[in-house]
């Protein structure tokens, strides 16, 4: 319970007092009530903002959704009036907003035009493939990217650094879906090298829940996950490299060397923990772009997740579904940001947690 | 005779200011010229700009029309079609030349919108201590959290797919990052003595912003603009790839959309996939290199990081 890192932290954040006599677990004890409350309140405000933007987008920018919906079908004035009434568009904007809030908080997002299914059910079904794609890709790219970036910075200016940095910059300028198309053309569609499936998540005739089915799903995910990992890796390695270079000029590294630590020890004990700090914040900010990657890559590899659902919903356009998806994506990023703040506080004892 | 001294002195102060400004630009240009990556980026951009502007002279615009296309369908590169043909029998090279126009135009125009909003919001939130600054800052933070692509797709769906709406969509989704950069710079400008002097002399927030903060954040705005164009070009390409934008306009993104949608990629027609993709990468890379070179000059502390 009293590992040195905790005791330093409690001294720094100044919360050692009668109110906080015991800390039971490492995690629970690490955060003060105030920090937790601030984090939750901040995220709640951000969520509220997202909810308002969502309303604004779908009701204010587009004051006549019935025309978009009716495209070709509902032409007569009576038809349009009927749709307006059904959607509640004949009421005042404030009434509509009130109704919308009630819908959001009761989880009622309407019925998808395209699938004739309640939007939350549809999103619930399709969320798993997306998580299966995005989570491994994010974890892998952060892990590999920070290793690559710190190695580049540690020997900066060397041959390894110059070649891999140039490569990362090119990858950074590449649309991730174009890389996906390239890999698709070579390793899926090509008759010679095309060992991977051309899309989807399961082969026909394989039970998804069997051992064989799991292996089959993993096989389907190799190309899309590789695409996402490689593009994100470029970005994370660039971030890690520059934050590592910032750290490398610091005096405590010199102190470490002066007291006789080896190069490796200086790197692992003093340089890396400090270089990781800005990484956490930037990873959180990047998550908003990760969502975009899911949309394009799922479209390229026809993975039946939220991303493919989005690009299908745009074509119709399936407004209730789109509204639900937008809310889910934004909420996911808000929550992920909050988690990142907690992780940051764990990593940096100077943060008043 | 007796009134003569006054005007020359005023004009000489102005002349001095202009001379200083000219010298500052000259110094920046000299530093930029010494930056090899920046110069390569600039040269590449000039080449693409010339291609985009003089496209009608370099290729025949009649060949863009599907009905006028005469070539074989999805033919590999040959002497007549140096980069092969697409699924309508049009020359990929012609499409590539005309396809440079939309990404560059959209990229530049959208960036103008982003920079104007971002600079104003960033300066305003940096200079005001009161609730207005806080509200603007929170707003920026929340906007950054909203995932870009879903927001852009929703906006594009609602506004319809014209060139103008794509510009607006990319412009109004791209400002928060700029606003944060400008805000940070405004903070550092705010603490300088000349600001206090101006404030003591009774300058209002508008005067402070336009006469004192703006000239000092301007170099950063330029560096940031160049980097933002890179992002806007990528955004345009992604939106066109997903089927948004003017369907009749030729752009690298719509070429890639067609290559994917009509199965050219599945058939292994690499000439439909590689040329537009490589053009996008080269242009984005060029903007990034030029932008980073400018940023290194404006903010030398960053240079170590690259």
Cβ contacts below 8 Å, chain A against chain B, sum to 140
Q: Are B103 and B251 in contact (CB under 8 A)?
A: yes
Give the tens place of pLDDT for each residue, B195-245.
Answer: 888 888 888 878 888 888 888 888 888 888 888 999 999 999 999 999 887
Interface test with A, best of B74, B141, B142 (most A CBs within 10 A): B142
Whether chain A has a CB inside 8 Å of the CB on B149: the answer is yes
Query: Residue B58: enclosing H or E segment and its boundaries?
Result: helix B55-58
Q: Determine, for residues A314 and B156 on separate chains, whether the beta-carbon distance falls below 8 Å.
A: yes
Please name the member of B142, B147, B267 whose beta carbon is closest to the beta carbon of A49: B142
Q: Are A245 and B305 in contact (CB under 8 A)?
A: yes
- Calculate how close chain B gets to A288, using CA atoms only, in Å: 4
**Ranked by mean pLDDT, which of A29-38, A165-174, B84-93 comes out on top?**
A165-174
Provide mean pLDDT across the span B184-205: 85
Rounded distance between C-alpha atoms, residue B112 and residue B171, angstroms: 7
Flag whether pLDDT at A282 surpasses 60: yes
Rounded distance between C-alpha atoms, residue A274 and residue B15, angstroms: 49
Residue carrying the six token digits 């690009």: A311
Q: Worst-scoring range by mean pLDDT, A77-91, A324-338, B162-176?
A: A77-91
A183 is written with which tokens?
A: 């890999």
End-to-end CA distance of chain A: 18
Provide mean pLDDT across the span B57-76: 77
pLDDT value of position A214: 86
pLDDT value of position A11: 36
B304 is written with which tokens?
A: 């170590």
Give the tens place of pLDDT for each residue, A61-83.
Answer: 665 666 665 555 556 777 777 77
Whether chain A has a CB inside 8 Å of the CB on B241: the answer is yes
Please name the member of A175, A190, A288 whose beta carbon is closest to the beta carbon of B146: A288
pLDDT value of position A141: 92
Q: Determine, for residues B147 and A292 on separate chains, whether the beta-carbon distance falls below 8 Å.
A: yes
- Calculate how close chain A gets to B191, using CA atoms only, in Å: 24
Q: Determine, for residues B266 and A185 on separate chains, whether the beta-carbon distance falls below 8 Å.
A: yes
pLDDT value of position B286: 95
Q: Which 8-state DSSP code applies to residue A189?
A: I
pLDDT value of position B302: 53
Please name the member of B146, B153, B267 whose beta carbon is closest to the beta carbon of A314: B153
Question: Which one, of B102, B123, B115, B122, lies nearest residue B226 by Cα?
Answer: B115
Whether chain A has a CB inside 8 Å of the CB on B271: the answer is no
Interface test with A, best of B45, B107, B149, B232 (most A CBs within 10 A): B149
Flag whether pLDDT at A17 surpasses 90: no
Q: Are A68 and A322 in contact (CB under 8 A)?
A: no
User: Please, which pLDDT band fits residue A16 given cuts at 50, 70 and 90?
Assistant: very low
pLDDT value of position A75: 62
pLDDT value of position B210: 85
Q: How would you write chain B as a 3-class SS string?
A: CCCCCHHHHHHHHHHHHHHHHHHHHHHHHHHHHHCHHHHHHHHHHHHHHHHHHCHHHHCCHHHHCHHHCCCCCCCCCCCCCCCCECCCCCEHHHHHHHCCHHHHHHHHHHHHHHHHHHHHHHHHHHHCCCHHHHHHHHHHHHHHHCCHHHHHHHHHHHHCCCHHHHHHHHHHHCHHHHHHHHHHHHHHHHCCHHHHHHHHCCCCHHHHHHHHHHHHHHHHHHHHHHHHHHHHHHHHHHHHHCCCCCCCCCCHHHHHHHHHHCCCCCCCCHHHHHHHHHHHHHHHHHHHHHHHHHHHHHCHHHHHHC
Contacts of A169 in chain B (CB under 8 A): 285, 288-289
Provide mean pLDDT across the span B125-143: 85
- Calculate how close chain A gets to B228, using CA atoms only, in Å: 12
- Return the number of other C-beta atoms located less than 10 Å from residue A29's C-beta: 16
pLDDT value of position B305: 42
pTM of the complete model: 0.85
Contacts of A285 in chain B (CB under 8 A): 144
Please name the member of A61, A169, A322 whose beta carbon is closest to the beta carbon of B285: A169
- List the beta bridge partners of residue A111: A118
Cis amide leading into A12 (omega within 30): no
Could you give the residue ranges of the DSSP H alpha helices within chain A?
A: 4-13, 26-30, 33-55, 65-70, 77-87, 93-105, 119-154, 159-172, 176-184, 211-248, 251-258, 263-265, 272-300, 306-315, 319-347
Please tell me whether residue B252 adopts helix, strand or coil conformation. helix
Please name the member of B149, B154, B274 whose beta carbon is closest to the beta carbon of A291: B149
Q: Determine, for residues B266 and A326 on separate chains, whether the beta-carbon distance falls below 8 Å.
A: no
Buried-state track A79-93, b at ≥16 Cβ within 10 A, e below 16: ebeebbeebebeeee
Provide mean pLDDT across the span A212-226: 90
A314 is written with which tokens?
A: 């745009």
Q: Determine, for residues A175 and B280 on separate chains, whether the beta-carbon distance falls below 8 Å.
A: yes
Give the tens place of pLDDT for each residue, B246-284.
Answer: 777 889 999 999 889 888 888 888 888 999 999 999 999
Q: Is the ipTM of this complex over 0.95?
A: no
- Tell me phi and psi for residue A294, to 5 degrees: -60, -40
Angle (CA) A52-A58-A62 rounded to 5° is 130
Q: Are B44 and B286 in contact (CB under 8 A)?
A: yes
pLDDT value of position A66: 62
Mean pLDDT, rounded, of chain B: 85
Q: Determine, for residues A242 and B306 on separate chains, whether the beta-carbon distance falls below 8 Å.
A: yes
Whether chain A has a CB inside 8 Å of the CB on B189: the answer is no
Whether chain A has a CB inside 8 Å of the CB on B277: the answer is yes
Rounded distance between C-alpha atoms, residue A201 and residue A209, angstroms: 12
Q: Are A308 and A302 in contact (CB under 8 A)?
A: yes
Q: Worst-scoring range by mean pLDDT, A3-7, B178-182, B207-211?
A: A3-7
Q: By CA distance, what is B289's nearest residue in A? A: A169
Rounded distance between C-alpha atoms, residue B236 and residue B228, angstroms: 12
End-to-end CA distance of chain B: 60
Flag whether pLDDT at A24 surpasses 70: no
């Amino acid at each position: 319970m009293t590992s040195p890192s905790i005791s330093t932290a409690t001294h720094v954040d100044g919360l050692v007092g009668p109110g906080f006599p015991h800390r039971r677990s490492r995690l629970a004890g690490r955060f003060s009530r105030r920090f937790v409350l601030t984090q939750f309140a901040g995220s709640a405000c951000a969520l509220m903002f997202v909810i308002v933007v969502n309303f604004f987008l779908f009701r204010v920018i587009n004051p006549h959704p019935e025309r978009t919906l009716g495209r070709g079908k509902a032409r007569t004035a009576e038809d349009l009036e009927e749709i307006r009434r059904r959607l509640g568009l004949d009421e005042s904007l404030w009434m509509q907003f009130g109704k919308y809030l009630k819908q959001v908080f009761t989880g009622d997002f309407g019925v998808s035009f395209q699938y004739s299914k309640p939007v939350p059910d549809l999103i619930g079904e399709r969320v798993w493939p997306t998580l299966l794609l995005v989570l491994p890709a994010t974890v892998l790219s952060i892990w590999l990217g920070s290793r690559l970036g710190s190695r580049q910075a540690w020997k900066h200016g060397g041959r390894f650094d110059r070649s891999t940095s140039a490569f990362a910059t090119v990858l950074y300028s590449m649309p991730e879906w174009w890389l996906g198309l390239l890999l698709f053309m070579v390793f899926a569609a090509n008759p010679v090298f095309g060992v991977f499936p051309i899309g989807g998540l399961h082969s026909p005739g394989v039970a998804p829940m069997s051992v064989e089915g799991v292996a089959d799903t993993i096989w389907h995910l190799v190309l899309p996950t590789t695409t996402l990992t490689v593009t994100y890796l470029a970005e994370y390695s660039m971030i890690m490299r520059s934050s590592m270079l910032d750290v490398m000029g610091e005096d405590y590294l010199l102190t470490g060397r002066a007291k006789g630590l080896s190069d490796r020890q200086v790197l692992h004990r003093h340089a890396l923990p400090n270089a990781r700090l800005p990484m956490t914040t930037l990873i959180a900010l990047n998550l908003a772009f990760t969502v975009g990657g899911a949309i394009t890559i799922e479209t390229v590899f026809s993975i039946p997740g939220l991303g493919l659902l989005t690009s299908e919903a745009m074509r119709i356009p399936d407004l209730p579904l789109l509204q639900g998806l937008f809310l889910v994506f934004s909420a996911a990023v808000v929550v992920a940001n909050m988690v990142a703040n907690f992780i940051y506080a764990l990593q940096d004892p100077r943060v008043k947690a | 005779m007796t009134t003569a001294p006054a005007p020359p002195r005023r004009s000489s102060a102005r002349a001095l200011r202009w001379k200083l400004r000219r010298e500052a630009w000259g110094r920046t240009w000299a530093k930029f010229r010494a930056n090899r990556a920046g110069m390569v980026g600039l040269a590449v951009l000039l080449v693409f700009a010339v291609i985009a502007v003089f496209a009608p002279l370099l290729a025949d615009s009649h060949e863009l029309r599907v009905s006028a296309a005469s070539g074989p369908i999805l033919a590999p590169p040959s002497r007549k079609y140096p980069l092969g043909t697409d699924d309508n029998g049009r020359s990929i090279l012609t499409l590539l030349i005309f396809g440079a126009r939309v990404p560059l135009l959209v990229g530049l125009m959208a960036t103008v919108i982003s920079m104007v909003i971002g600079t104003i919001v960033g300066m305003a939130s940096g200079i005001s201590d009161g609730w207005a600054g806080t509200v603007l800052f929170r707003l920026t933070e929340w906007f950054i959290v909203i995932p870009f692509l879903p927001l852009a797709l929703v906006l594009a769906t609602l506004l319809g797919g014209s060139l103008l709406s794509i510009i607006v969509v990319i412009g109004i989704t791209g400002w928060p990052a700029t606003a944060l950069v400008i805000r940070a710079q405004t903070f550092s400008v705010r603490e300088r003595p000349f600001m206090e002097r101006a404030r003591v002399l009774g300058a209002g927030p508008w005067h402070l912003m336009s006469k004192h903060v703006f000239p000092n954040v301007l170099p950063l705005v330029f560096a940031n603009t160049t980097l933002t164009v890179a992002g806007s070009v990528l955004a345009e390409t992604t939106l066109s790839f997903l089927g948004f934008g003017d369907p009749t306009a030729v752009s690298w993104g719509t070429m890639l959309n067609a290559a994917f949608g009509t199965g050219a990629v599945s058939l292994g027609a690499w000439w439909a996939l590689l040329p537009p993709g490589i053009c996008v990468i080269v242009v984005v890379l060029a903007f990034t290199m030029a932008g980073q070179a400018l940023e290194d000059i404006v903010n030398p502390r960053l240079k170590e990081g690259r």
